[in-house]
Structure formats: structure tokens, C-alpha cells
Amino acid sequence: MSLALPTLPQGRVLDVVRAPSQILSMSAALVDPAHPAVVQLCADLIATMRVSPGCVGLAGPQVGVAAQAFCVDVSTHPKTRTSHGLIVLLNPEIVEASRNEKGREGCMSVPDLTGDVRRASKIIVAGQLPLSGERVLITTDAFEARALQHEIDHCKGMLFLDRVIGAHALYARKVYLAPRGTADS
């Protein structure tokens, strides 16, 4: 059920922008899928996501680039029911959405908080692949649907904080420390 992604160049690990950076609240620009800078951005998003523990998605604005580009890969996450493997989309849009459900979300750009957010549990997303510009439709549900919607929000200048159900549904992120005497102490 994986997408046939084109071969991208070697990605660079970029710094992740944190709230309240202004770029996170700006609507990102549509991009040309074949432009070399856009193709490199896609590779950089993947590389940055891969080295970030617990990260299942990353969008252009999160690395300081106001471009409608993101990557998502929920394949190894324990909450995953449906997975298309690595997804890289440009100029994304939600075509169809249904069955809103509450779920906990976090974000690399808001590292200290998580929150309960209502999102569609079944969606169809349209977007373009890097390099070829081929338009694809992705039909998915559950955790992958949530991750895709989260990254599409970044492309629209929104954070999950903009969708948190209320102040009572915002939580400090738990940090787990290794016990004393282990290699990490």
C-alpha cells in the first residue's frame, strides 16, 4: 500500500522552527514539484524527520520554508492501523473527510505540550509528488489520517494548538528519564 516515490537527493538535517516563530502562522505558498529547491526540501524534510525521535511527520514551515510540502511516515508507530509507508506530498488538500474523533497530538515545533484535537478519522487527501508532479489521491484512516491533517495544517499556517478542544485538553509533554546507573545517566 506504499506510494511509488521518485528517488530524491541526499537530505540534510535541518533545524526545526519552534513556536511562536511567525513562519508557523503563515499560509505557505504553492510549489513547483520539479523545482530543484523543492525536491531538495523534500529530501531534507525526510532526513530531519528520520533523526527526530517519535516524529512521524514534518512540513516545510517547520524547517523555516514557507512551502506547501510535507512528509509523513507512521509505519513504525504503535497507534498505526493503516500505513502507506513514506508519504511526501506537495500542494496538499483534503478532498473528503468524515467521522471526527478526539486524539492526543504533539508537535516538533511545540515540544513541551500535547493536546486533545478533534480530527476526521477517515480522509481522502490529494497532492502532487516531488519531481514528477503526478497528482495522487490517498485514502486513509485512524492515526495516518490524523498525521496527514496535522501536516496539512502546517501548510495552512496552523498549529495543533489552534485546534485543541479547550484549555482543559492541553498537557505538559511527559519526559522519561533513564534510571540512575544506566548508560544514559
> Could you give the residue numbers annotated as active site?
151
| Element (DSSP H or E) covering residue 111 | strand 110-128
CB 96 within 8 A of CB 125: no
Tell me how far CA of residue 105 lies from CA of 79, 92, 131, 169, 185, in angstroms. 12, 20, 31, 11, 28
Radius of gyration of the CA atoms of the chain, in A: 16
- Whole-number Å distance between alpha carbons of 73 and 86: 5
- In sequence order, the β-bridge partners of residue 164 are 117
